[in-house]
Structure 1
Amino acid sequence: MFFASDNSGPAHPKVMEALVRANDGYAMPYGADTLMDEVRTRIREIFEAPEAAVYLVATGTAANAIALATLSQPWETVFCTPQAHIHQDECNAPEFFMGGTKLTLVPADHAKMTPASLHAAIAAEESRGVHGPQRGPVSITNVTERGTVYSVAELEALTKVAKEFGLATHLDGARFANALVSLGCTPAEMTWKAGIDAVSFGGTKNGCMGVEAVIFFDPKHAWEFELRRKRGAHLFSKHRYLSAQMLAYLTDDLWLDLARRSNNANARLVRGLKQIESVHFLHEPDANITFAGWSRAGHRRLHDAGAAYYVWDDNLAGDDPDEVLTARMVADWSMSEANVDRFLDLVRG
């Protein structure tokens, strides 16, 4: 009953097997390995983008921060929601790698900005001439940090606003595959066809040991990203171990299969919770993340039984057993139906 996070689950056996195979013999370092050539070709095929620049790093923070640094200047500001991972959970790494670029928070509903809120936030900048921050890229997260998903139409509407101001758009896709299978669209439709310029394409949360791809649909950004990745200490010497993971992840659509598994596990959880009258939801779950509330007594039963998840209110020690506390639950690819059902039984009491 481990719902703490999808990055807490195991790597898929096929990924681990690929690492063992990659460990045989010698390979050129720093991304010159033959496996990386296959990764680059496969990602270009998947995204229908034959000219795309494709790179690998080991962490989502590095993917987001270095990609945004490549798209921005130090005197600019990046537009994102208050819930964005780049704002809440990356210890100012984007600002560090961007060398001074700040973040402007765009009001959001269920962690999703709207074209109107984005337009207002962008229009409010560049109002003080040389004294204020200049407009920089827009960063959108899909799946959002509250488990909601932007539709393709919503993405298109946001990138239209960005382009109205001549700004690039970055997609934080740490859970890219979960959003994609939720929408039932193609990778191209969710990215460059919708106006996205760069993507952090996640693998770690979806069955890899630790690898993320950064994709620029305009290859003009390639050399700058390479320099920033090296300068930022995120160019792996034994790069083949990143390449091996990503290649296994993409082979035979494993990445989509794993995302379906985690989304389906979460859907089973949601169906069960919705049948319990005392449970309420903070956001409509669209992928593999759920925020829901129930009594402190129910949370105590779960924790006593060994369930792992975050209590958002962090107040299990209170006195009132009936007080409603919010849970954040994230399903990963390995979550079994039996564990979901046991969790639901404990919520019911």
Structure 2
Amino acid sequence: MNFASDNVVGASAPILEAIVRHNGGAMPAYGADPLTLGLTPRFRALFEHPDLAVFPVATGTAANALALSVMVPPFGLCLCHEEAHVMEDECGAPEFYTHGAKLQGLPGAGGKIAPETLDRFLGGLTRHVKQMPPRALTLSQLTESGQVYTVDEIAALSRIAHAHGLTVHMDGARFANALAALGCSPAEMTWRAGIDILSFGASKNGALAAEAILVFRPDLSETLDFRRKRAGHILSKGRFIAAQLDAYLGDDHWIANARHANRMAARLAAGLSGLPGVRLAWPVQGNEVFPILPARLDAALREGGALYYDWASRSLPAGEAVREDERMIRLITAFSTAEAEVEAFLDLARRSG
């Protein structure tokens, strides 16, 4: 019963099979192989964008940090939610790769920045040389609270950002889960809504280690190959990242994985919501569940072998709070989470409640 993260599970069978299938024989190195070269037309078709530039990397941190490095100069600000992954969980990588730019966190319930919050912050800044100028906005999709930015919300935030001269980045570590939840197209959730660069995540949804920086504006992609090389993310055997992404996109495997993870999260949420003293901090929209539960139930679940993380309550909805005798936890389901595992957790919770 491990619901600690979608990073704790292995890779999916089609992706492992693709790695093995493309292991034999020789191929050109450093991204010159046919698999890597084939990713660009593949992603262009998927995102309905003829000029899309594709830069495969091995980790989400690299994708985010390198993307922001072409969007924010060393003297600039990058705006994000105050609990965003780039702010709290990447060990300063965005600041390092931008050579000193600063991340500025904005508040918002559910890990989401409201358009009025962004507009108010940008409108209140001076243009004095003493003030670091904002140059980019990054949005987490899903948010750190498991919430989905709707297409309209993305478009509204992008319009405000662009009006103030900012570019817009999306941290899509759980891009597939958000897309499955919204039921829209990849284009609708990204460049058509104003996103300039996307960190396209795959590792949390079935890949072994594969992400991609997708650049929708050609003027922002010019230096990315050089930055990627300096960062050590042009792999000599790049075909193995490409093989993962190729299998990930094939036969809608990525969306099927995300839909399954989302269903398992919804099943967990439905079962927990029926227990005395348990309530959900936010609606379950993707593959993350944030229940607030009695401390004694939390202790019993852990004693029974359930694995998960405690979670911060900073962006709870107005009027919601975690009492002293309660705990807020995070449960994450994955593409490989079995119904039996969900039911075992719920049975333990019912018996312990």
Question: TM-score, with normalisation over the residues of structure 1?
Answer: 0.95
Distance in 1 between the 2:292 and 2:245 partners? 36
Kindly indicate whether residue 282 of structure 2 is the aligned counterpart of residue 291 of structure 1: no
Query: Aligned with 1:245: secondary structure?
Result: helix
Equivalent position of 1:158 in the other structure: 157
Cα distance, 1:223 vs. partner?
A: 2.7
Q: Percent identity?
A: 42
Equivalent position of 2:56 in the other structure: 56
Kindly indicate whether residue 30 of structure 2 is the aligned counterpart of residue 30 of structure 1: yes
Q: How does 1:184-223 map to 2 (within 5 A)?
A: 184-223=183-222
Kindly indicate whether residue 273 of structure 2 is the aligned counterpart of residue 274 of structure 1: yes
Cα distance, 1:194 vs. partner?
A: 0.3
> More deviation in 99-108 or 171-180?
99-108
Distance in 2 between the 1:253 and 1:72 partners? 34
Cα distance, 1:104 vs. partner?
A: 1.2
Equivalent position of 2:148 in the other structure: 149
> More deviation in 294-303 or 92-101?
294-303
Distance in 2 between the 1:21 and 1:220 partners? 36
Query: Aligned with 1:170: secondary structure?
Result: strand
Distance in 1 between the 2:213 and 2:50 partners? 15
CA deviations on 1:21-60 (whole Å, 9 max, x unpaired) are 1211111111111001222211111100121000100000
Distance in 2 between the 1:131 and 1:231 partners? 31
Equivalent position of 2:300 in the other structure: 301
Cα distance, 1:222 vs. partner?
A: 2.2
Equivalent position of 2:329 in the other structure: 327
Cα distance, 1:282 vs. partner?
A: 1.5
Distance in 2 between the 1:106 and 1:161 partners? 15
Cα distance, 1:327 vs. partner?
A: 1.1
Amino acid at match of 1:115: P
Moved over 6 A (4+): none
| Structure 2, unpaired ranges of 5+ | 313-323
Query: Aligned with 2:67: secondary structure?
Result: helix
How many residues in Structure 1 have an aligned counterpart in Structure 2? 340
Equivalent position of 1:347 in the other structure: 349
> More deviation in 295-304 or 253-262?
295-304
Equivalent position of 1:172 in the other structure: 171
Q: How does 1:59-138 map to 2 (within 5 A)?
A: 59-125=59-125, 127=126, 129-138=128-137
Distance in 1 between the 2:221 and 2:30 partners? 15
Equivalent position of 1:245 in the other structure: 244
Q: Is the 8 A contact 1:298 1:346 kept in 2?
A: no
> More deviation in 42-51 or 127-136?
127-136
Distance in 2 between the 1:166 and 1:132 partners? 15
Distance in 2 between the 1:7 and 1:225 partners? 27
Cα distance, 1:128 vs. partner?
A: 5.3
Equivalent position of 1:317 in the other structure: none
CA deviations on 1:49-98 (whole Å, 9 max, x unpaired) are 12100010000000000000011111110010011100010000000000
Query: Aligned with 1:332: secondary structure?
Result: coil
Distance in 1 between the 2:71 and 2:25 partners? 38
Amino acid at match of 2:145: R
Distance in 2 between the 1:169 and 1:76 partners? 14
Cα distance, 1:116 vs. partner?
A: 0.7
Kindly indicate whether residue 224 of structure 2 is the aligned counterpart of residue 225 of structure 1: yes
Query: Aligned with 2:290: secondary structure?
Result: strand
| Structure 1, unpaired ranges of 5+ | 314-321
Q: Is the 8 A contact 1:79 1:122 kept in 2?
A: no
Q: Is the 8 A contact 1:104 1:121 kept in 2?
A: no
Amino acid at match of 2:62: A
Cα distance, 1:295 vs. partner?
A: 2.1
Distance in 1 between the 2:169 and 2:127 partners? 25
Query: Aligned with 1:27: secondary structure?
Result: coil
Q: Is the 8 A contact 2:127 2:133 kept in 1?
A: no
Kindly indicate whether residue 54 of structure 2 is the aligned counterpart of residue 41 of structure 1: no
Cα distance, 1:234 vs. partner?
A: 1.6
Q: Is the 8 A contact 1:83 1:145 kept in 2?
A: yes
Cα distance, 1:278 vs. partner?
A: 1.1
Q: Is the 8 A contact 1:63 1:200 kept in 2?
A: yes
Distance in 2 between the 1:124 and 1:140 partners? 21
Query: Aligned with 2:70: secondary structure?
Result: helix
Distance in 2 between the 1:336 and 1:223 partners? 44
Distance in 2 between the 1:202 and 1:312 partners? 23
Cα distance, 1:233 vs. partner?
A: 1.7
Distance in 2 between the 1:241 and 1:251 partners? 15
Distance in 2 between the 1:220 and 1:311 partners? 42
Distance in 1 between the 2:64 and 2:180 partners? 22
Distance in 2 between the 1:30 and 1:223 partners? 18
Question: TM-score, with normalisation over the residues of structure 2?
Answer: 0.94
Query: Aligned with 1:277: secondary structure?
Result: coil
